[in-house]
Amino acid sequence: MNTSFLKSIIYSFLIDPLFYFCSILTVIYTSFSFFYLNHFFVLGVGTTELDIFFKAISISCIIIIPLLVFRIRYFIFDDSIPLNSFSKLITILFSVFVAAIIPVLVLISIPVTVNVFGFVDVGQFISGFIGIVLFILTAISFVIFIFNFFNKGYIALLISILFLIVFNNIHLIPLYLKLNSFFNFFFKQFSFAWHFSSFENGIIDTKDIFFFLFTTLIFILLSIYAEYKRIGKKIDFFAVVLLFLSILFSVITFSKFYKRFDFTVNKQYTIS
């Protein structure tokens, strides 16, 4: 990661009204969802559960992250930057992450304030925050890949939003279509929201952590491949195959070490 390059991208965010629009939109949408859908101000009905809070943040990312990447698309397409593809893409990914996490940090004030007047499950908050960090990283890596692949700003923007909607809701298809067990399993495994749901409920599942980390890595590698193809740089096919086989082996290996931690205060999801 190049510090000077990182600072220049972050500075471009700070002077751009689009960044502030995205941040304000995230804060308003999440705040409204939390207080309204939780019936917070309705006596005897309201709740302080944070699942809706984190779900709203993840939904806002479907629009916000493509817009943030769209803002710095010229850095993605600029082949004159004196960095190798990996360093360049990692720096861009981290800069977008910083821009996307700022409104999330602002939103932390909501559960902190609510805890003064009621009860907020600290464990659920911690797991939800970890989950939203992983969700944002995966979404950013995916959108960067789409921009690298299509190489046209507005088309990439629309396609990335469309695909994020699909990946976030694909697990719902079996509810409306009669499918066999294989497709039910397939749609759930490729759904961002399905893997994120455990975090928002106060559960940290190692399978979900591995999903987000390995998916992020795969999209970064695909972005490098797309950039190499765009600039006409030769790709070592054997090295690519070996790398993906290594990732596949790692996924299979880590999936065997399955742990599920219930972070909720009352251990709601732990069998006594």
**pLDDT for the residue numbered 21:** 92
Query: Residue ranges of the chain with pLDDT lower than 50?
Result: none
**pLDDT for the residue numbered 149:** 85
Cβ contacts of 255 within 8 Å, gap of 6 or more: 207, 210
133: its two tokens: 């960090």
Per the CB < 8 A criterion, the answer to whether 60 and 161 are in contact is: no
**pLDDT for the residue numbered 249:** 60
For residues 110-125, one letter each, b for 16 or more C-beta atoms within 10 angstroms of the residue's C-beta and e for the rest, the string is: bbeebeeeeebbebbb
Chain center to CA of 35: 23
**pLDDT for the residue numbered 4:** 84
**pLDDT for the residue numbered 244:** 66
**pLDDT for the residue numbered 27:** 93
**pLDDT for the residue numbered 257:** 67
**pLDDT for the residue numbered 137:** 93
For residue 207, how many other CB atoms are within 10 A of its CB? 15
DSSP letters of 139-203? HHHHHHHHHHHH--HHHHHHHHHHHHHHHHHGGGHHHHS---HHHHHHHHHT-HHHHHHHHHTTE
Question: 204 has which bridge partners?
Answer: 261
